[in-house]
Chain A
């Protein structure tokens, strides 16, 4: 599933909170840290590369 900017931000917040609580094995912390780094890069890239995209409602494929 493609992650949205908001989902990525929320997950990043979650990881920071977990790491700040500490009390987990080092391997797990490192895994979370790596995920967090990737998420922050993903978010930053989204923000830096953002270019407004406009489509007309008539070009949108309906969900139904």
Chain B
């Protein structure tokens, strides 16, 4: 009889491992179960856990490479669907599940889809801040998109009525749940874009993730993005986030809050208008006061106070002119006198009288000056002019 084959533990485990790994089914298997004994080995990034259902349990490991691609954080008690393979960890002889990918079961799948949609649209630039439109401060008309039968629309209308009933409301009733919700909301946005509303509120009360699911619709997201009228989203409660919230121009935590953000407070407006009226009154008062002051300054001026001053001033001026003229005249006179004296002395030096004074005389016959003796005949009467007078004579010899 052949002696039995004796294996070392290592050989056994290695053999068992090779048998398990050769199995096609076990090499790519989907398993659903609940996570327990979850350990996030933060240094290596590997995840260790047990997957169980109500009767059985299996150890599982997810290596860091695969774990880093997970869109959610696994927790104890979470129901998951796992894709992976089965093998044996030789050292411990432990039969276990090697997880390639893992998705939360049920609601968690929506969460995954949400994250994926969010990431996709974010990359497409739909949530960019530069694309956000400014919400008007004081809207004249407000579009409200909500379920006609829901509490959300009542909240919105109440707040709008309390805060700013001046604004007119254009209501677009839509479905806010189920498959028809997104298309009806898209339709409402398009219709409101053809009206003259200044802002649109999309309102829906709280609900489960499934209830709010239509607000993560890709086409709806694009409709909000494309809207030419700014949109405020007020979907669900404070803690609920939908894709609509990210793409909207303004996210409000609740429908009531959306209404609060859409309009100013009428009491503040009344106060503001009164303040403006007061400012207007004091501005005109100041204007008039300033004009009055200017007028007073003018009446205080010397001209209007003592008009005789003007005449006095004129007289003074006139006096100064006369003085100037006199002075000028004196100057001119003095200058002219000296000129005259000079000319006189020149003239004097040329005067024939001067010559006569030296002993010469002028002989005249019939008032003609006689220059040659030939012009005279015996018996002619002549007059002789001396410097100091005349004498008469008769020619006796020529």
- Chain A residues close to B by CB (< 8 Å): 4-6, 9, 12-13, 15-16, 19-20, 22, 24, 26, 29-30, 33, 36-37, 40, 43-44, 46-48, 50-57, 60, 62-64
Minimal Cβ-Cβ distance residue in B for A48: B270
**Contacting A16 at CB < 8 Å: which of B160, B188, B192, B280?**
B280
Q: Which of B178-213 contact A (CB under 8 A)?
A: 188, 191-192, 194-196
Are the CB atoms of A26 and B173 closer together than 8 Å?
no
Minimal Cβ-Cβ distance residue in A for B168: A53
Are the CB atoms of B170 and A55 closer together than 8 Å?
yes
Minimal Cβ-Cβ distance residue in B for A57: B172
B290 at interface (Cβ–Cβ under 8 A)?
yes
In addition to A6-B137, A57-B192, 11 A-B residue pairs with Cβ atoms within 8 Å of each other are: A5-B138, A5-B166, A6-B138, A26-B291, A29-B287, A40-B276, A47-B266, A47-B273, A52-B165, A55-B171, A62-B191
Complex Cα distance A3/B371, Å? 121
Are the CB atoms of B188 and A57 closer together than 8 Å?
yes
Which residues from chain B contact A52 at a C-beta distance below 8 Å?
157, 160-161, 165, 169
Minimal Cβ-Cβ distance residue in B for A35: B280
B113 at interface (Cβ–Cβ under 8 A)?
no
Which residues from chain B contact A15 at a C-beta distance below 8 Å?
280
Are the CB atoms of A12 and B276 closer together than 8 Å?
yes
B279 at interface (Cβ–Cβ under 8 A)?
yes
Complex Cα distance A62/B192, Å? 9
Which residues from chain A contact B173 at a C-beta distance below 8 Å?
56-57
Q: Which of B120-143 contact A (CB under 8 A)?
A: 136-138, 140, 143
User: Shortest CB–CB separation between residue B11 and chain A, in angstroms?
Assistant: 78
**Contacting B168 at CB < 8 Å: which of A24, A33, A37, A55?**
A55
Are the CB atoms of A54 and B172 closer together than 8 Å?
no
Minimal Cβ-Cβ distance residue in A for B266: A47
Are the CB atoms of B276 and A19 closer together than 8 Å?
no
Minimal Cβ-Cβ distance residue in B for A53: B168
User: Shortest CB–CB separation between residue A45 and chain B, in angstroms?
Assistant: 10
User: Shortest CB–CB separation between residue A7 and chain B, in angstroms?
Assistant: 9
Instruction: Give a binary string over B266-305; 1 marks a CB under 8 Å from any A CB, 0 the rest.
Output: 1001101110110110011011101100000000000000
User: Shortest CB–CB separation between residue A37 and chain B, in angstroms?
Assistant: 7
Are the CB atoms of B165 and A20 closer together than 8 Å?
no
What are the 3 tightest A-B residue pairs by CB atom distance, in nearest-first order? A19-B283, A57-B172, A50-B165
Are A37 and B280 CB-contacts (below 8 A) given A22-B286, A62-B194? Answer: yes
Chain B contact patch, size range? 35 or more
Are A4 and B140 CB-contacts (below 8 A) given A9-B273, A19-B280? Answer: yes
Which residues from chain A contact B287 at a C-beta distance below 8 Å?
19, 22, 24, 26, 29
Are the CB atoms of B169 and A53 closer together than 8 Å?
yes
Are the CB atoms of B284 and A33 closer together than 8 Å?
yes
User: Shortest CB–CB separation between residue A14 and chain B, in angstroms?
Assistant: 10
Are the CB atoms of A62 and B195 closer together than 8 Å?
yes
Which residues from chain A contact B140 at a C-beta distance below 8 Å?
4-6
Complex Cα distance A62/B286, Å? 49
Complex Cα distance A46/B164, Å? 11
Are the CB atoms of A26 and B288 closer together than 8 Å?
yes
**Contacting B279 at CB < 8 Å: which of A20, A24, A54?**
A20
Are the CB atoms of A63 and B196 closer together than 8 Å?
yes
Which residues from chain A contact B280 at a C-beta distance below 8 Å?
12, 15-16, 19, 33, 36-37, 40
Which residues from chain A contact B164 at a C-beta distance below 8 Å?
50
**Contacting B283 at CB < 8 Å: which of A16, A54, A63?**
A16
User: Shortest CB–CB separation between residue A36 and chain B, in angstroms?
Assistant: 4
Complex Cα distance A53/B170, Å? 9
Complex Cα distance A40/B160, Å? 23
Minimal Cβ-Cβ distance residue in B for A64: B194
Are the CB atoms of B169 and A55 closer together than 8 Å?
yes
Which residues from chain A contact B279 at a C-beta distance below 8 Å?
16, 20
Complex Cα distance A4/B143, Å? 17
Which residues from chain B contact A22 at a C-beta distance below 8 Å?
283, 286-287, 290
